[in-house]
Structure 1
């Protein structure tokens, strides 16, 4: 958002000084023979920090949010294009730190939660959306994003619905805001509730929308939580396919293509190689470390893309729907996990 500077002869008020300060970051300056802006320099300084041992997924997301809400992201197009691919490669890399036998056990444990929570969320979303007077498209997009895997589900279901750009933006903005909140809130809540690594990993996979925030929150809690959360969440992401096909039938859409999350197959292959090919286990820790760095950078990119304009575009009603669905699925899954696992 461009800020208009005051041209009055009177002293500039504090907010005017702040606006002028941030506006100066967008002006080009010569640095080592190249024209760069302070905005670009700050972006790369934050990005470099995300690659250091002092950074973590929540810190990276916070830095991205700070950048987006102050000087803005100077590379919006590039980061938007890189985010999905970087997340997918990072998830595949995490597979080299997983054991197939433990993953199967975690997947079996989470399948009942997955079926019940997806079905319940979609049904609840339909009725709450009607109560709020939201369009069917926006309601269904937010419900799918909450039920399955956030932005990935919305990106897959959107073309099936032939949703408009504004509808997609509202749905994505809603789940990304709640993702950011969850990434910061869940680890402290897990410690406060004395949740085990297994319990917390399962809760993350069910109650947090996007894969990036699920993995980020679980990684902050512990390695076992990370393994459980990643496995259950990716198994959950496969439900994009039947839900997208069901969407085409429910909305009477014909000749549509369903986007299949093939990167999950890459994760499974990496996990099998790590389990059954001992020679590869020497390099596995390095690959996992690089994957975690990739995840940290991914969350920085996501935060940098969540501008004030994107937040304002959401509006109160879609956000109310998103919060209600998220609250119900978080509380219900937490109750079941704490009393059964």
Structure 2
């Protein structure tokens, strides 16, 4: 009898969830390690003169795309890649809030806040309208517009999560913004000696019209310390407006996708609340009231950059170059015209100072 029981116990199959767990953990580790590896490589590439303008996030997504095209992705690694491009992304955005000191933005004056608000509203209206005229996918035009108006790649991936944009659209929007921002930064550096404005005014112009923080910092260098401070402060004002922009687009896309016969209560229930954006605001408050030691705050800000870069690498690993052929030239046209229009009104905005 005992031998029979022992034989039954011996012949029992291994529980399925054990195998699934091992497979999941292995895929998770592979994906996370790969995105971390690409981020580390990107952190070294940006030390080179030209690539420093593009920034670690842009380089990471390009590396991810190249790796996918040339090397492929290990079986199961998509689990970890998905965690990087979704959850690490949101955590990175939350921690990025520690860059903001809301009091400093308020102290910068109403004029800076007004300039940032005009920049965002003008850019969003022009580019989304242009996308509609060209019959471009509304998700695509929205992402390019947000990236140009607010803060580049971080804004694109944040709003993409809210409006449920496709990976192809997100990647193309990030790539478009990266190229235009780099060209714009180089153009500002070249024309600075010919501009009859003081360094502080130049910094405001740069901070109000360029896409990425990396682009702003690079272009502000000729303005010295005064120009750099003005540029970063103006740019951070635009970053702060990411919160209402994400909330507005979350509502607009939720309402457009829902049945018009739905009641207001049902629409509110279905609204995709971007909790990570609220976390971004919470971290901004933490930094504003200096609730964390400076060293810890600086470390977390640096960590946010790497988390966002890993998310960008994960995004790139999910994209094929062939996907861009399906989209065509319309997104690039929207991005170029929108950026030229924004740069064109820049001198007019300086009259508000």
Q: Shorter-normalised TM-score: what interval?
A: 0.5 to 0.7
CA contact under 8 A between 2:144 and 2:331: conserved in structure 1? yes
Q: Distance in 1 between matches of 2:320 and 2:103?
A: 36
Partner of 1:91: 96
Give a deviation string over 1:19-76, Cα, whole Å, max 9, x none.
xxxxxxxxxxxxxxx9xx9999876555446678975672464255335413356542
Partner of 1:176: 174
Partner of 2:320: 310
Gap change, CA 1:198 and 1:83, over 3 Å in 2: farther
Give a deviation string over 1:312-340, Cα, whole Å, max 9, x none.
21325x34221121112110111111343
Aligned length in residues: 278
Give a deviation string over 1:182-240, Cα, whole Å, max 9, x none.
45444323322328222222113xxx4xxxxx234335454543332232133144123
Partner of 1:258: 271
CA contact under 8 A between 2:144 and 2:177: conserved in structure 1? no
Structure with higher Rg: it is: 2
Q: Distance in 2 between matches of 1:154 and 1:140?
A: 12
Q: Which moved more, 1:48-57 or 1:223-232?
A: 48-57
Partner of 2:305: 295
* Residues 1:62 and 2:59 aligned together: yes
Partner of 2:127: 121
Any residues of structure 2 matched to 1:69-108 within 5 Å, and which? 69-70=66-67, 71-72=71-72, 75-95=80-100, 99-102=104-107, 105=110, 106-108=112-114
Taking structure 2 as the reference length, the TM-score comes to 0.63
Gap change, CA 1:63 and 1:173, over 3 Å in 2: closer
Instruction: Give the gaps of 5 or more residues in structure 1.
Output: 1-33, 159-166, 209-213
Q: Which moved more, 1:40-49 or 1:254-263?
A: 40-49
Q: CA RMSD in A?
A: 3.8
Taking structure 1 as the reference length, the TM-score comes to 0.65
CA contact under 8 A between 1:95 and 1:267: conserved in structure 2? no
Give a deviation string over 1:108-166, Cα, whole Å, max 9, x none.
2211222222222222211111xxxx6xxxx11012212234232233223xxxxxxxx
Q: Distance in 2 between matches of 1:275 and 1:154?
A: 27
